[in-house]
Each structure stands twice: as structure tokens, then as C-alpha cells.
Structure 1
Amino acid sequence: MAAARIQRWAIILSAYDYHITYRRSEEHGNADGLSRIPLPETIDDGTKTITASLNALICEHLEEAPLSAKQTSKATRKDTELSLLHRYIQLGWPTEIPENFRVFHRKKDELSVEQGCVLWGTRVVVPEKMRRVVLKEIHDEHPGIVKKTIARQYVWWPNIDMDVEKVCKRCETCQLEQCMPRHVPLHPWEFPGGVWRRIHMDFAGPFMSHMFMIVVDAYSKWLEVFKMSQITSAATITRLKRLFAAQGVPEQIVTDNATTFMSDEFQLFMKRNGILHTTGAPKHPATNGLAERCIATFKAGMKKLAKEILSVEDKISHFLLRYRTTPNGTTGESPADLT
């Protein structure tokens, strides 16, 4: 209503031209008093109805408040722990402090009693039977764990933060709407002690209308690229047999959880050759980061050769020659020198 009144006066006054003259404060007199004169009571039934409704809403909300000094005082007297704490505050603390009272004893200089309620500073120490009601009120609009900061301004009891967190974690609505957790730094792979002990594998494509199998040695960064007409387990095993005939059988192979690598046929091939097969976390390709980086390097290199009039196999050969003879940023040596 106030905003509408101001807007109405702004429209009325916009019809006038103003000449503003500076005047010192001593010459103002009590002109500012006009802005402090109470407005006349409105005889608008609609306004009165709205005001009455607002007042009734506020009173209704206050009547449903979960805490009152009378209720808290009554619950404090019935609470085994707080009733004893109430006596300690008023009559003095014993020489030997029980284990469950040490958390209160550390705050003894800040504890007080007001209207039968135990206070820590300006915060009410809530009896155990009323804590569930308080937690429900705190979590009424699903504010999340951050609400515990606001809760600590008014109420307190031992482990209040833990209780607020438990309520949030058990709330299905909060769990569905919560933000994704921050990414945890990946544990780096241990650097192998020699060439061709651990290799990383993955498929790239469809790229340039083909699928490619990427194999990289973790020690020397030696890269192998095979154009695949199909990426079945049988076709993959056939390529690996030819590769192992040239380079030797590795001790460990790291792949993702693709069906090709998880099939019984591929697992049996690993077992028969005594190879430890390690897979990354599902839907987290970064766990096989070496293969992912080599795929990106391979694609970038092939795109640079896009204008060359060469077959795909010849482009792969040109790329591998340049890659294998270039010093690697991690090892400082070219893959050809370390193999």
C-alpha cells in the first residue's frame, strides 16, 4: 500500500516544474517533522481486511512455535541431565565432574538460568525430548546442512551439528536436490619400473569414419594405433596377439568397462596369458587418463594431416613416426629411445 501511495504522489507531482535552491541546515527548521506525522487511518474495508488477515497469520504462526519459555522450563525440570545441570549452575559445580557433563563444564562461565531455562550465552539449551521438534522446525523448508549455522544462533545442545546433518542426510528431498560433490583428486598411477610392464588401452571413434584401438606403454609412452573394422572381443584379441608377438606380453593391462574388455572371452585371454586386467571406475574415463590423452593426441595429429592426399593407414604411419621420435613431456625422452 505504501508503494502504491508513493507512486500516486510521484505521478501527481510530475506535472510541476521545480527550482531547487540550496539552504543551510540551520534554516530548515522543523520541515523534516512533516515526514514523521502519522498517516490518517484508512477507511478502506479491503485494507482493514488484509491487515487483519496478516495479523491473524502472524499470531497463528507464533501459537504454533515449537519453543516457549514455559514449555522449555517444564521439559528442563523433567530432563535428567538438564535438571542436574540447572542445579549445578545455581548451587555450584561438584569437585568431580561426570563424563557426560564435561561438555557443559567447559562452558560453565557462559551458562546461566533464565525463567527456568538453561542458556549458553543467548542460546537456549534444549532438553532432549524437545530436540526432535526443534530439528523438524529447523528443517521445515529443507534448507540443507547450512541451516545449522542459523540454528546455533538460537538453540544448542551437545552434538547439535551432527544431529542437523543426520536429518539432512535422511531427508529424501534434500538428497535429490543436493549439488554434486566436488571432484576428489585422482590417485596417480605408479610409474612402472620398465618398458611394456603396464599398458593402457581404449577405443577411439567413430573418427574419420573408422574405429581405432589405442594402446600406449605407461613407461616409454610408446603408442600403437590399429584401425578396426569391428571392436569385438575376438578382433581385439587378434590385434593384441600380433602386438604381443612383437613387443612381448605385458604384466598389466588397464582398460575401461566396455563390453569388449569385460566379456568372458577377453577375460579368459587375460587369464591364460597371466596378465593382470585392471579397469577404471565406471563413467569416470579420467581413471584411464593415459589412454584418453593419447586418443586426444592421435585425433589432433590426424586432423593436421587432413589435407594430405594419403590413405588412413598412411596417415597413421606418418603420425606415429613423428610421435615416436618426439621427446615426451613427461619422460623427456622420445618413446623410440626408451623402447
Structure 2
Amino acid sequence: MTFLCMARGIQKKKLLLTMIESDRKLRALMDRCRERGLVLNKDKLRLRQKEVRFIGHLVTSEGLKPDPEKVKAVKEIPNPENVAGVRRFLGFVNYLSKFLPSLSDLCEPLRKHAQRRCMELSDHKPLEIILRKPLHIAPKRLQRMLLRLQKYTIHLAYHPGKEMFLADTLSRAYLRNNEQTGTLEEETKHLARFLPVIKDRIQELRQETQADKTLVKLTKVILSGWPEISAYVSAPLQPYFNIRDELTVQGGIVFIGERILIPETMRMDMLRRIHSSHIGVEGSVRRAREYLFWLGMTKDVKDFVTKCDTCRSFDDKQRKEALVDYLRNTKSKTVIQKLKALFARYGIPGHLVSDNGSQFASTEFSSLPRNRNSVV
């Protein structure tokens, strides 16, 4: 068995222990194993070796070296055929990083390829906002596209069409008789189909949206693209600027995520429908948040429910029963009578806590029945 010791000095010289010292340490190891009841496999024992394989390395009298079998495996590894293969290869060759000071520089092109970074230019301003949408709040029609793009690191920059000469020119001078090659994948998702709303109501929403001046302006901004800063947005649309990433227009209806933005003329009717079963404030708010949205909707729902005559008529009937009966007055005699009734029903308490009122410090109260261990 060969023992190597790395010196901790500035030069870090390698010191080979003498054979006598090595044998002494080996005997001490064997004695300790015998004391602890450890059994060693003699078939695996190697004494006085010049090198030993240990965790993929060679421990030699000259220091640590790479295992030739690992090096051979790296040289003969098949060429990666996909991004996952490139990543596996990079992870494997990191084994040699301590022996190749320039390995990081050599692998940099492969790392860039594995990351699949894409720099794209587009003249479609809303596309910048679409790619920043969190997946869980993105409309259904965008979720599939965002899922497909998750394996890429895309950096999208907006450029006006007039500055994208090649794409803009070809889009205006395309070949009219050019035949399509391959198949065109087409997918249509209409959010209204996933809502529990009848067709007549959908048509009414569409008509009222087109009649609402604020929503008409909002629709135009959503389709044409939002300005960079809110100062350039008209006053009626200012409250929507911070949620612009979630706003979409489909079939003449404005959606925020998967919820419908309700025109002002229909909000009172929606409040009546939300609270039609008189489910209370919290239940009505939860129900509204599932499919509907407008600015200040939560406050409107709470105000509507608190002013509901039907719900208010049942308030007294639903009042919780008090543990202690109402007192006609706070005299000691009245308090004692009520407490005796409670003690007879529930038993005499071990501790009775009061606010040090005069009725509790009276002579009458001191005669109140109590256990031997009761404390007032």
C-alpha cells in the first residue's frame, strides 16, 4: 500500500512516506479493524502498489492522474445528435477539468449550442409582451406556443417593419403562384368556448364591448401595441397599463387571461347573477373571479352583497349564540345568579378570571360556591 501526503507549504511538494512508516500505519489500521470487529476482504487487498485506481482517478507515487480508461471513453464517444447529447457530453468531460486548464474555453462553443440561444427581430410589437407572459396566466391559445418555446432562450427585439428591409420587402413582393410544400399546421382556440356562457350572452358581450368607448380604445391599443411608458397612454386606459401583458382580444371580446372584461353597461346584471343564490360575500367574490373582470370588481361585489335586502333579513336569525346570557345589570346579585346557572351546567371551574370589577370584590361574591382548588 502506497501512502501519499501533499505538503501544505507554498511549493506543495509531494512527500513519499518511508516503507517503515507505511508498514507501521498499516499495522495500526489492522489493529483498529480487529478492535472494531471489521472484516476485510483479502482478495481486494493490494500492497506496495505504484498506482491505485480510486473514484475514476489514478493515485500514483507521482501524484493524481486521469484514468486512461476514462480518457479513452471520451475520445471514442459517439458524436452527439441533439441538444441533450451535447449536455451529457459536457457533463462527462468535466471529469477532466482538473487536468485541462483550458477546458472551459474549448467547451464554450458547445455550451452556447446547448443553450439554443436565439436572437430574433420582429415588427410585431405585441409579440414582445406575449413572450414575457407567465404560462399559467397566458390565454389557452398561447399556452401551446409558449410550451414549445420553453426549450429555447429567445431574445426578442422590436424593429419597425420599415427598418427590416429583407422581411418587409419580401412580404410585400411575395410570389403569388408559389405552391405550398409540406403541410400547414393550423390551430384555433376560442376562449369563449371554454366559458359557461350561452351564445346569446356572448353576442351581447360582443355588442356592448363595441359600444363601450373605453373598451373600443383598449381593443385598438391591444391590437396595435402598447407604448413603452404609461405616460403615452390615454387617461381612460392608464389603469390597464400594468396588466397589459394579460390582455387579449378575441372575437370582439376583451380577455384578461381567461376572464372576460365586462363592459360597464352589463356589470350590474352580472352582479345580480353572481349573487343570485345569496352565497355571501366571499363566495360571490370567488365566483366572480373565476370568469369575470373589471376594474374595482371585488369592491363592487362586496358592496352589492352587503346591501342585499334578502341577506340582511336573515342576519338576526343567524346570530351566534352567546355562552353567557345577557345581564340586566352588573350588580353582584345578578352576576352570581348567572354564574351559578353556568356552574350547575358545566361544573365549578378551577380558575375564574375577572376584570377586578366591584361586583367581583363584594362580600356576596366571596360566598359563591367553589372547589377547594379554585382560584379567582
TM-score range, shorter chain: 0.3 to 0.5
What TM-score, normalized to structure 1? Answer: 0.38
